Every structure is written in structure tokens, then in C-alpha cells.
Amino acid sequence: MLAKFRPLMAAAPTTKAAPAVAFSTAAERDGYAQYNHTDACQHLRWTARESYEYMYARPWSRVVDFYAELVRTGAGAAGLAELFGKDEKDHLRDTNGEEPLASSEKQMSVKSSKGRGGRWERANFKIVLSYHGGSFDGWQKQPDLNTVQGLVEKHLGQFVDERKAKQLQERSLPIEGCATVAGRTDKGVTALQQVCSFYTWRKDVQPADIKDTINEASPDKIKSLVVSEVSREFHPNFSAKWRRYLYIFPLDGDAKSISEDEQSSMILENPEYKAPRSFDVAKVDKIIRQLEGKMLSYKIFARDTQASRSDGPATECFMFHSRAAVTKLYSADENCKESTPVMCVELVANRFLRKMVRVLVATSIREAAAGADEDALLNLMEATCRRATAPPAPAEGLCLVDVGYEDFDEQRCFIVD
């Protein structure tokens, strides 16, 4: 599957020169106050503007096309295996939710809930979805926007029971189902094995009916991989033990943030300025590995969070796995033999804050380019302002790979020693 995306694990190439500027302080370079970093590094760190321009100047269309092909073929997480020289068979197993109930288990579940009423009488379905981030305005349903949740719930409306349908009609609301998700994704973020659930009191609904309905909603943009009936206690978010994200960052040297003339002029104005001209993926790997096996507060790496969730346990995450490696993307077009070197960052944690992965990736690249120490991210945990971190990396590179409901097993990861 997806044989044309051939793997190539090699030494990390360096990227094209990052933007050079002629000012001695970050505040002068970017025109407004920057966070005052006190830990040492070999070069001046990129300002927020420089980091933003560098990130968005990459050839993201190649990554977007790669994710689109994975969704179109319904490859799921297994579609990424070949990218890292792995066997797809080792990643075909569905790890995205509770196993379907066997007939005996289903009978026991129904028997134990007899007479309890309410939610114990309903049928609960687990739905594993794959969708292309570039085709939707994120997961969460919003007025006048094309969202994944809006599309899914609209097509689940035909499976709503009569009682709920009547309630919706009385309130002049459209007859739609209610989909609960393991974790919301932002606009542009792809998901290969997202998990959501849907319940109904109807007894005639079959998993195959739900699967076919979703697959007909928007072909090639969203695909239902697995639909199964699960126990009443199953919740896609609260039952999850870990989530896995992959970020693909293009290392193509064609993208530039500023012109060569501008760069030469800036260096001449300040000959002592040492601009970071590249970053080493091996350095990024060393920096990001420091997060493994630790329960830390990632509030400094979050964005757009509510004030009530900006401190305390609500910001703490346990990172099971954090690695970076180099590989190559090949075009799905048989007539195109051009490849794109990319850096892949694989992160697995019990939970993630909003935009946390994208900020971690962007900040790791910035710190590696500046020649910071390997504990750079750990040092930033104590920062007093979110300007200490880099702006979020583009959403186009991020992918929710899968969600786990069993204990984490590192051997199932793509980037391992």
C-alpha cells in the first residue's frame, strides 16, 4: 500500500539558511518586546516573525498531498509504516478503541443493565475515522463552516431514535446525531485514525449502515475505517490512555524567507551577528527526547486556552514517546520521481493541550538552529510568558495518527532506537 512513498532513513540534512538580520537584540529586530532568554546558545534565536516566516516558507503542498493519499486509500496508521521502513502488517491492528462486543459479552452487558433505564438501554457505537485536514475547517461544529463534526452528525441523523427526533423537531433544530470525539483537531490537521462515538436507542442500527453512510458523505475526504458496537461505558476521550501525533516538516532547500540581497545587506550592517543558517535534525531529536517519561506542565506551549486551564493539573501531560528522524516523501505520481527530504517528529502522550504539538515542533527547531543545550525545552517550562516559545508550526504538517485504549507499547511506534 502506498508503495510509491519510498522510505529512506539517512543522516539528517541541513536546511537552507534561516533569515539573517542585522540587529543586536531581539526587541530591535522584531519591533516589539521579546522574551529575555537567559540560557546560553551559539547563535541569536529567531524572533517570532523570523520563525513564522521560516516555517511557512516550506513546500507544504507535498505534505498535504501525502496525507490526502493516505486518507483516499483508507490506509490509516499503517500507511505511515513504509515511510519509516516498517512492515505495514505490524500496524494494521485496530488500536483505536474498545474491541467490538462478542455476542456473549453483549448479552451480559444488556442483562446487567436490565431495569436501569436511561443510557444503559442505548446502543453505543465506536467509529474510527480518517479525514483530510485541508478539506475541513477543523473537527468542532461551527456555524457556516465545513467541519468534520458537522458533516458526521448530519449523516448520523438518520439513525436517531424517534424520541430524540421529536425533541429536535419541537425545538426547530435539524435532526442530527451526536458524535463525541477523542480529541478535537484544528483546521488543516489530518487524522488517520480519529475515534468518535455515537449512541442511539434504536435496536435496528447496524455498524455497516453507519460506516456506509459516512463513507458516502464526502468521498476521498473522509472515510470510516471501522465501526463497531461497544459497551455503554466506553467514552472515546475519557477511556483513552494515549494519543499519537506525527509532524512532517519539509527540509526542501528551495524555500527562502528573505532574498539573498536582503541577507547580504543585513550582515554587512552588523558583521558580528551570527545568524543560524541551518538546524540539525539529530539536534532536534536530542532536544525533544528530554521530554520522554516525564509528567510536566506544558502551559507555556499551549495556545488559545481558557484561563481556568492555564495552570495546575489541567496543563500537565505525560510524554510516553518523543523522537525525531529524517526520511523522504515520494510523489504518488508514477511519472514524478522527485523526492522531498522531511523531518518527522513522533509524539505520544496521555493528553495534549491546544496547539501544543505545533508549538513544541517550532520551538525545537528554533532551539536547534540557535545551538541551545539539549535541555532547552525543559528550561522553557519555567518561563513566565508564552512569547518564550516559537509561534505554532503550520497545521498542514500535523497528523493525529491514532488513539490508544490499551497500555502504551513503544514497539508500535515508527521512530525507535
Q: What is the pLDDT of residues 27-57, one digit of tens each?
A: 444 444 566 666 666 678 888 999 999 999 9
Per the listing, cell 443493565 goes with 113
186 in catalytic set = yes
How many residues comprise the chain?
417
Residue 137 · residue 221 · CB < 8 Å: no
Choose the catalytic residue: 137, 161, 186, 209: 186
- DSSP H helices, 259-355, are 260-269, 281-289
Per the listing, cell 438501554 goes with 121
Q: How many CA atoms lie within 13 A of 385 on its CB side?
A: 7
Neighbours of 146 (CB within 10 A): 14
Q: What confidence score (pLDDT) does residue 89 get?
A: 72
Q: How far apart are CA 225 and CA 13, in angstroms?
A: 36
Read off the pLDDT of residues 352-366 as tens digits, 9 standing for 90 and up: 999 999 999 999 999
Q: What confidence score (pLDDT) does residue 276 get?
A: 58
Band of the pLDDT at 221, cuts 50, 70, 90?
very high
| 255 has a pLDDT exceeding 80 | no
DSSP 8-state assignment for residue 254: T
- Between the CA atoms of 368, 372, 377 and 383, what dihedral angle is there, to the nearest 10 degrees? -130
Q: What confidence score (pLDDT) does residue 19 get?
A: 35
Neighbours of 402 (CB within 10 A): 28
Residue 393 · residue 247 · CB < 8 Å: yes
Pairing state between β 398-404 and 190-200? parallel
Q: How far apart are CA 177 and CA 156, in angstroms?
A: 5
- The arithmetic mean of pLDDT across residues 211-215, rounded, is 96
Lowest model confidence (mean pLDDT) among 22-26, 158-162, 182-186, 294-298? 22-26
Read off the pLDDT of residues 64-92 as tens digits, 9 standing for 90 and up: 999 999 999 998 999 998 899 887 776 66
| 311 has a pLDDT exceeding 80 | no
| 267 has a pLDDT exceeding 80 | no
Instruction: Write down the mean pLDDT value for the chain.
Output: 81
- The arithmetic mean of pLDDT across residues 102-127, rounded, is 60
**Domains of the chain, start order:** 48-59+242-408 (3.30.70.660), 123-231 (3.30.70.580)
Q: How far apart are CA 379 and CA 202, in angstroms?
A: 54
Residue 187 · residue 138 · CB < 8 Å: yes
